[in-house]
Amino acid sequence: MNILALLPEVKSTYLELLHLQPSKSKITFSCYESENMFSPEELLFHTLGFSITRNQSSLVSAGTGVFVTRGFVPKGAVVAMYPGTVYQKYEPIFFQSIGNPFIFRCIDGVLIDGNDKGISKAVYRSCSRRDQLGPFHMSDVSWLTPVVQNPLAVGQYVNNCSPDKAANVCYQEFDVPECFPIELKQYLPNVTYSHDIQSPLRCVVLVALRDIKQGEELFSNYYTIVN
């Protein structure tokens, strides 16, 4: 409930969404393709009041960044999630870490590998298939593809702040409770490396430090983490 309290007030009810004219979705499921479905970005905008996407960063030589493309992000709102494989501090991550700028270190030493390429990508897919429970997926793998289910799962591309670009988001670590609905786990972009260790799934979200307007890029401070 503490984490849910970070979410902004829903801007429209689900009943109101039924009266909106949906655009054709590009999402293709294994058995059918729906012509009457909202895209994940549209659902995000109509429920939370904003949408985000990756684009060329405004920082020189920074590569990809994350921008608010529509709407308005109020202070205290969860604006993005940090996806990836979760490693305990004693688990092997040496080869995955070589030349990898997307490894996030939590306060207690837990590591999250948010790289969507190479060995990191293969490890995540393997762990996700391992954890599948019948028809239920225990994690989201779509963040590794161009077509995502959870458009918030781009937190690894949020750049560090600079003297000219102050931080407007911070990191919040939390463990997913056991009572989390199993049918919603397919939207969590994290998976544990080891299946034998009985520990809660670690997730990291990015929380807005101030109101963020449409068109602004998200910047974090890598040394500012709320425990």
What CATH code is carried by the domain that includes residue 94? 2.170.270.10
Flag whether 61 is in a domain: yes
Q: Please tell me the predicted confidence (pLDDT) of residue 147.
A: 84
Q: Which pLDDT does position 25 carry in this prediction?
A: 45
In this predicted structure, what is the pLDDT of residue 6? 56
In a domain, 83, yes or no: yes
In tens, the pLDDT along 161-196 reads: 999 999 999 999 999 998 999 999 999 999 999 887
Predicted pLDDT of residue 14: 42
Q: Is residue 22 part of a domain?
A: no
- Residue 112 bridge partners (DSSP): 86, 104
Show the domain range for 81.
38-220
- Give the chain's length: 227
CA 138/CA 186 separation, integer angstroms: 5
- Judge whether 14 lies within some domain: no
State the 10-residue block means of pLDDT for the chain, 227 residues long: 54 48 47 60 91 94 93 96 95 89 93 96 96 91 91 95 93 93 94 86 96 97 63
- Domains in the chain: how many in total? 1
Is residue 183, in this structure, part of any structural domain at all? yes
Q: Residue 115: what are its φ and ψ, rounded to 5°?
A: -75, 130
Phi, then psi, of 164 in degrees rounded to 5: -95, -20
Answer yes or no: is 186 within a domain: yes
For residue 227, give Cα distances in angstroms to 2, 142, 223.
13, 28, 12
Whole-number pLDDT of residue 19: 54
